[in-house]
Amino acid sequence: DQQVKQNSPSLSVQEGRISILNCDYTNSMFDYFLWYKKYPAEGPTFLISISSIKDKNEDGRFTVFLNKSAKHLSLHIVPSQPGDSAVYFCAASGSGSARQLTFGSGTQLTVLP
């Protein structure tokens, strides 16, 4: 049951360039989407989110784009820095009271100096 999919297990980018991480979902009941970053031996850390009523949300170097018709979201990091190297998880939730998250399988981003 892969309701949230991250098809790229890894991505390498040169420092200063743009990193683009992609995520697809299948459940049309999802209305809130989040990106988490995870370092080894730590829990997921919230990065940025977007509600389904928007198509873009920006926070500093991080921008999330949502294309509801394609059921696709992406995270752009500009400029990429070596400290951004981590596993990035896309997650989605629906409107139920618990609002539990369904996670993608993650993308390992490596930013090369």
- Does residue 49 belong to the site contacting other proteins (CB under 8 A)? yes
Instruction: Give the range of 21-29, 56-64, 70-78, 94-102 binding other proteins by CB under 8 A.
Output: 94-102
> Please, which residue, 13 or 101, has the CB nearer to other proteins?
101
Q: Is residue 44 a contact residue for other proteins (CB under 8 A)?
A: yes
Least Cβ distance, residue 85 to other proteins (angstroms): 18
d(CA 14, CA 53): 33
Strand blocks (E) in 52-97: 56-59, 62-67, 72-77, 86-93
Q: Which stretch binds other proteins (CB under 8 A): 10-18, 20-28, 38-46, 56-64?
A: 38-46
For residue 90, the one-letter residue type is: C
99 token code pair? 């609002």
Distance CA(81)–CA(111), nearest Å, equals 6
